[in-house]
């Protein structure tokens, strides 16, 4: 069985990454979402084991020491990490895996999995991004400035990604993401391996 493909999606806060990831998972079968571990507190409407695995900082540090993470990073004072065993087991079963992680994590994944597909999401404009963050109503002025500064830094890393999708229209952006996944599933080596055609050709 051919190993599954690892898809990584990164974006500044406010671009709509979570919504687009959910759309992708709803529209395509055979791809699963890796739920991250985090030390931050759950937000209203978030549930442990569904949105994140919420753990204490001590527990997170124990997992780091045990080399349990494929990647991990500190973001806005909280820690986030991706379970190594969970991702590797799914890939070995031939399942594609979707990671929703920041630029720091994407770089770590690329070092371990050079063949991973990195996708960067962009807002239609800088002003739209700022408006989206303001509309959340959860950001005071100092935190908004911090998020905008971090967004600028993340945008500078865009050239490290394989694909860029602009979220100026949610439906169109979702279709663009879907097209990227489908295109990679149609690559010749994957088709041949999944249909058993390589062995047939070699024995003919």
Domains and CATH numbers, the chain: 6-34+96-203 (3.40.50.300)
Helices (H), 48-140: 57-65, 84-92, 103-112, 126-136
What are the tokens at 44? 């209203």
Q: How far apart are CA 204 and CA 201, in angstroms?
A: 5
Element (H, E) at 15: none
Tell me the mean pLDDT in the region 49-75.
Answer: 95
Residue in the block written with tokens 């909280």:
78
pLDDT band at 196, cuts 50/70/90?
low
Asked if 105 and 71 count as a contact pair (C-beta separation under 8 A), the reply is yes
pTM: 0.86
Tens digit of pLDDT for each residue in 97-153? 999 999 999 999 999 999 999 999 998 888 888 887 777 655 667 877 887 888 888
């Amino acid at each position: 069985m051919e190993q599954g493909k690892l898809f990584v999606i990164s974006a500044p806060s406010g671009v709509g990454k979570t919504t687009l990831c959910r759309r992708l998972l709803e529209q395509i079968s055979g791809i699963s979402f890796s739920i991250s571990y985090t030390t931050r507190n759950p937000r209203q409407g978030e549930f442990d084991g569904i949105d994140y695995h919420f753990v204490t900082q001590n527990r997170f540090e124990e997992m780091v020491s045990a080399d349990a993470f494929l990647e991990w990073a500190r973001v806005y004072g909280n820690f986030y990490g991706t379970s190594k065993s969970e991702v590797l087991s799914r890939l070995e079963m031939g399942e594609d895996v979707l990671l929703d992680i920041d630029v720091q994590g994407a770089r770590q994944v690329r070092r371990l999995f050079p063949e991973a597909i990195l996708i960067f999401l962009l807002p239609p404009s800088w002003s739209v991004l700022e408006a989206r963050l303001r509309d959340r109503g959860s950001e005071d002025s100092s935190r908004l400035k911090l998020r905008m500064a971090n967004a600028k830094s993340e945008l500078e890393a865009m050239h490290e990604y394989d694909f860029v999708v602009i979220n100026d229209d949610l439906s169109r952006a979702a279709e663009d993401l879907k097209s990227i996944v489908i295109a990679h599933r149609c690559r010749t080596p994957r088709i041949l391996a999944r249909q058993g055609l390589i062995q047939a050709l070699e024995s003919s």
